[in-house]
Amino acid sequence: MTTPALTWLYAPGDRPPVVAKALVSGADVVVIDLEDAVAPDRKEYAREATAELLAEPQPVPVHVRVNALDGPLAAADLAALAALPGLSGLRLPKVTSPEQVARVAADTGGPPLYALLESALGVERAYRIAAAHPSLRGIALGEADLRADLGVRGDAGLDWSRARVVVAARAAGLAPPSQTVHPDTRDLEGLAASCAHGRALGFLGRAAIHPRQLPIIERAYLPTERELEEAETIVKAATAQPGALALPDGRFVDAAVVATAQRTLSLARRPALS
């Protein structure tokens, strides 16, 4: 079972020194941003700097968030980056239809794609987008834009959309979605609480915008000692006695419970951030 990623660290494409620091931050995936984090007059430079970096393989997976697919810059981003050896994935912002995903997949020749759903229409079509093409490896929310589109106040107003994306990803056979960024980089207590809530909703891992957020995210999503002990007990019992069984404490164990325990143990095998 492959150990899943838990942390995705964004870095602006027009600031190569920041990207360089991100690459050694301990993040599972570095996301170079060509979209919201880059001013309009810096877009071309950001693309050129990113292409120069990704001309060579990188020590960690690197994704690139390209500019909006319905704008004038995305085509140039995709043409410049899609075939580079250092690219591990393309993150597509503001996706609203499966046709957009299929078109990018056809134009780029099949690098892994990740769709960001940032509007009511994108969320409403979540499953269709998630199942749009074999090159699509994941979906996630862009909550800042979604919040503005919906006119939502407070965090709970987004929980229906969050659950919708979790269900759509699972129904399409994709990995659980990661949470969107927590914008206050100094609010580590709030970040931890938000991660705990996201984990309860079915998310796995989270995007970050500062390295100080990475250990908080990882700690929130890694299993606790008690969860590990329970998972080990379940897997050992299922190995000794295949099929449904009852543990000495009365808990019933079937295939679904065993699969959950195996996922828990898989998460525990990942190296921890220092």
Residue with the two structure tokens 């828990």: 264
Task: Give the C-alpha separation, 146 to 151, whole Å.
Answer: 8
**Annotated binding residue at 65?**
yes
**Annotated binding residue at 70?**
no
Q: Could you tell me the two tokens for 160?
A: 């229906």
Strand order, beta sheet including 113-117: 136-141, 113-117, 89-92, 62-65, 29-33, 7-12, 206-208
The upper half-sphere exposure of residue 96, i.e. CA atoms within 13 Å in the direction of its Cβ, equals 10
List the beta bridge partners of residue 63: 31, 89
Task: Give the C-alpha separation, 265 to 140, whole Å.
Answer: 24
Instruction: Give the sign of the dihedral formed by CA 192, CA 10, CA 102, CA 158.
Output: positive
The upper half-sphere exposure of residue 157, i.e. CA atoms within 13 Å in the direction of its Cβ, equals 12
**Annotated binding residue at 77?**
no
109: alpha, beta or left? (left if phi > 0; alpha if psi -120 to 50): left
Indicate the annotated binding residues for Mg(2+).
Answer: 118, 145
Binding residue positions: 65, 118, 145
Residue numbers belonging to the annotated binding site for substrate: 65, 118
